[in-house]
Amino acid sequence: MNRNNIDSGKIGQVIEVNTERVIVEVSNELDNYNIIHNGTLHRVGQVGSFVKIINGLCCVYCVVESFSTYMQTGDIAINKKVINVSLLGYKNINGEFESGAKITPSIADSVFLIDEDDINIIFKSDVKFPVEVGKNYFSNSLPVYLNLNEFVLKHSLIVGSTGSGKSNTVAYLLNNITTKYKSSRIIIIDIHGEYMKYLGENAYEFSIYDPTKKLVLPYWMLDFDILCRLFGLGNSLTSSSIIDVFRDRILQMKKEFINGNDELKSKIKLADININSPIPFNIKTIWFEFYKRGYGTFNNTSREFGDFAYMKADNQDDLIGKAEELIKPVFKPYTSLNSAPFKSNESNYKNIADNIENLLRNEDFKFVFGDDEYIKGDKGIAELIESWIENDKQISVLNLSGIPYNILDVVIGVLSNLLFDTVYYTLKINAKKFEGRPLLICYEEAHRYLNSGTQNSFSQNAVERIMKEGRKFGLGAMIISQRPVEIPNTVISQVSTFIALRLTNSDDQSRVISFAPNNFSMFLKSLPSLGNGDAFVIGESMKIPMKVKIPLLETVKNINFAEKIGAWNQDRPDNLSYNDTVISWMQK
């Protein structure tokens, strides 16, 4: 090949231009596809690499889709080395990159390798609110930046198979955000309890197992419909009258709580309180009342509430029970004759009383129904919320790993609604003070609860609310999943930025490819062959779709992923017994 062409980086010329792509004929003089240009080794025709097409003062940038040693024309294959490229954009008169195909190449235009100056033109950070997402795959010294405003407030999706580097990607992004933006606020919904390993000292974890940073979700914060679902109300066996009594009793107790607090009484009108107002009430009192209505026996045929036929203790005191200690009252057995004590006419309260008691006694539900001061209403919920979103670490990890799977959907839905309402009502009260302080919520393993096959999902409805309405209130969502095909369309359609790491499942690959611009879909077909930490970034937060390399964090390097399986190399413990396991299981 001509020495001048080699020095200039020229590799061929345009021989065809159509609406989809440009075909470049590689020069016959090029007998080696590894070229050193300006001190950098280039592999000509590498899929995903970039070239430039020059005609006079015009410079168009393209991405390589394929490289072949023949060109197909109808049924005829011509022996010709050709590269198919897609248009990315062009260099404007100010020397800046603009995406799109405003300028298209012409036949016989010269095609060149790109150099460091071209890389800087295409990828340099001139975006507003930049945050580094990784390094340019083809120039590792060049950082790649996202527009954080677009990334957060228009939502994002990070996908990758197990072991592709998904968690490292999330941790790398969040660390960069909190380092550069000192007032950033991020919450991670972590259902496996693994993110503290990646974030280290950069985050604050709340867990049901940690007595000092305890994760609690007071039952009185739950919507009435959710409470009914938890307690088994609303099915065909339950009288609607019980639901009405349950509703009225809760509402009455919420009003009594306000009346008993001078500060709240002066600020809240009783007429403004509804069944879902986040005001404490005592579920143990309701359980106690329902138990007596269902199981009680009576001294008179009128069966007035309170006229119970109690058994007596050794000291002749009535065994009336204690609601706060879940001690049941003991009633005299009813007789089958028409004489006292008389059986209750409200035996349909037995099931609801039993269901409430089971949850109150269940250790797995202590974070909802326990004796924590937030749950009892002794401490204000405002302090709990502040500990989540205003602590000095900027990132809060809500570790849900110990929460029963059968209520995980409810818990995530309640947390999402709680955060949404907190941001909404805060802005409603004082928009100027809190405006400009968005909150990013990261949903790890989202396919586990945001599943397209799930009906009437509390978490899905709550997340969709954030995706659809959150932007105007400064609330953004990051959806993290290894199965994008299972994420509902109603969620995917609201996402503007996609970060795709290695995906091995063909259905997942097809789903991600469908997100991409037409001129980038061929590029994404290499998803299953990506290395660990390699990713494609697509969307409105980027000037063009891009392949990046995400550096491995030190906290990730120090994780011993073989630690658990290493136990198989050790001696088997002696005298193993599962008696305690079964007993604990029975107590649930």
Q: In this model, does residue 380 exceed pLDDT 60?
A: yes
Which of 308, 262, 266, 259 is closest to 281 using CA atoms?
259
| Rounded distance between C-alpha atoms, residue 82 and residue 41, angstroms | 20
Q: In this model, does residue 400 exceed pLDDT 90?
A: yes
Q: Look at residue 48 in the predicted model and tell me its pLDDT.
A: 77
Q: Look at residue 579 in the predicted model and tell me its pLDDT.
A: 83
Q: Look at residue 387 in the predicted model and tell me its pLDDT.
A: 86
Q: Look at residue 1 in the predicted model and tell me its pLDDT.
A: 46
Q: 148 exposed, middle or buried (CB, 10 Å; 0-12, 13-18, 19+)? A: buried
CA distances from 135 to 255, 450, 516 (A): 57, 31, 21
Q: pLDDT-based confidence at 7, cuts 50/70/90? A: low
In this prediction, residues 313-318 reach a mean pLDDT of 88
Spell out the SS3 assignment of 299-329.
CCCCCCCCCECECECCCCCECCCECCCCECC
In this prediction, residues 232-257 reach a mean pLDDT of 85
User: What does the domain layout of the chain look like in residue ranges?
Assistant: 3-125, 143-216+372-560, 225-361
Per-residue b or e along 326-362, where b marks 16 or more CB atoms closer than 10 Å to that residue's CB: eebbebbebeeeeeebbbbebeebebbbbbbbebbee
In this prediction, residues 467-474 reach a mean pLDDT of 90
CB 200 within 8 A of CB 191: no
In this prediction, residues 339-356 reach a mean pLDDT of 91
CB 156 within 8 A of CB 498: yes
Q: Look at residue 503 in the predicted model and tell me its pLDDT.
A: 93
Which of 163, 148, 162, 178 is closest to 478 using CA atoms?
148
Cα end-to-end distance, the chain, whole Å: 78
SS3 61: strand
In this prediction, residues 23-38 reach a mean pLDDT of 82
Count the neighbouring beta carbons within 10 Å of the beta carbon of residue 588: 11
Please tell me whether the peptide bond between 341 and the residue prior to it is cis, using omega within 30 degrees of 0.
Answer: yes
Mean pLDDT of the chain: 86
- For the ranges 90-94, 463-467, 580-584, the one whose mean pLDDT is highest: 463-467
Q: Look at residue 435 in the predicted model and tell me its pLDDT.
A: 55
Just give the CATH number of 143-216+372-560.
Answer: 3.40.50.300
What is the Cβ-side half-sphere exposure of residue 79, based on CA atoms within 13 angstroms?
A: 1
Least confident of 231-240, 332-341, 374-383, 505-514: 231-240
Q: pLDDT-based confidence at 500, cuts 50/70/90? A: very high
Q: In this model, does residue 262 exceed pLDDT 70?
A: yes
| Rounded distance between C-alpha atoms, residue 415 and residue 398, angstroms | 10
CA distances from 379 to 62, 203, 218, 225, 569 (A): 61, 24, 11, 25, 49
Q: Helices marked H in 321-365 — which ranges?
A: 349-361
Q: In this model, does residue 570 exceed pLDDT 90?
A: no
Query: Which residues make Cβ contacts (< 8 Å) with residue 106, sequence separation at least 6?
Result: 14, 17, 55
Q: In this model, does residue 454 exceed pLDDT 90?
A: no
Which of 543, 565, 509 is closest to 164 using CA atoms?
509
Q: Look at residue 274 in the predicted model and tell me its pLDDT.
A: 94
Least confident of 265-269, 272-276, 455-459: 455-459
Q: Look at residue 5 in the predicted model and tell me its pLDDT.
A: 53
Q: In this model, does residue 6 exceed pLDDT 80?
A: no
